[in-house]
A and B are shown apart, each in its own frame.
Chain A
Amino acid sequence: DSGVTQTPKHLITATGQRVTLRCSPRSGDLSVYWYQQSLDQGLQFLIQYYNGEERAKGNILERFSAQQFPDLHSELNLSSLELGDSALYFCASSVGSGAGAARVTDTQYFGPGTRLTVL
């Protein structure tokens, strides 16, 4: 058990809908990262938050958004869902901000993932 929790574990919805994925980081971790894992794209970084502030953006679609709350949990919002959004969505957390040389040793611990199926 990594200490990172994600809910729900599974989500089945229809095209055009909106869903919210939730993540609670490990105790003491200030950074939260979101990744998408799909068969064709592999594991792709979406976005990072550090202590409530957006730190970095990756291949995140405009239909997707995220935020990190004062208690450090994070939510990933996916809207206008398409079939191609079906994937496993991971949240990871780490102690550091991911800035500078220190990021090299800042291990990211992953949650169990949310499997999203868009029908």
Chain B
Amino acid sequence: AQKITQTQPGMFVQEKEAVTLDCTYDTSDPSYGLFWYKQPSSGEMIFLIYQGSYDQQNATEGRYSLNFQKARKSANLVISASQLGDSAMYFCAMREAHGSSNTGKLIFGQGTTLQVKP
């Protein structure tokens, strides 16, 4: 069954340093997409970055990059040059192309709370 695991409930990072948020996933579908979302304390869910299972290159979007290791089934989010505004909860999510439930739903991990220290 499809599953997303985020093992770090909380993380601290110093401003201007890089931080890696872990995400592992479980699926038997060879075609899937992995997504990261940011949820600040205000509550909204903000899309950050996407990685497809067949993508040859790791995805990058500005200060966000994805360390995609397909064999290990991990899709870690790397935030470079952390800013105070990066303090938020971060969710990893997956969507299968041919999931058993045949829906387009996203499956989310439990999230990691990131605190950026000045």
B-binding residues in A (CB < 8 A): 2, 31, 33, 35, 42-43, 45, 48, 55-58, 88, 90, 92, 94, 96-101, 103-113, 115
| Measured CA separation A98–B99 after assembly (Å) | 11
A45, B33: Cβ atoms under 8 Å?
Answer: no
Chain A CB within 10 A, most for which of B45, B107, B108: B45
Residue of B33, B43, B46 with most partner-chain A CB within 10 A: B43
Q: How many A-B pairs with Cβ below 8 Å?
A: 86
Chain B interface residue bracket vs A: 20 to 34
A109 contacts across to B, CB distance below 8 A: 47
Do residues A105 and B52 form an inter-chain contact, with CB atoms below 8 A?
yes
CB-CB under 8 A from A57, the residues of chain B are: 103
Report chain B residues within 8 Å CB of A48: 103-105
Q: Are A56 and B111 in contact (CB under 8 A)?
A: no
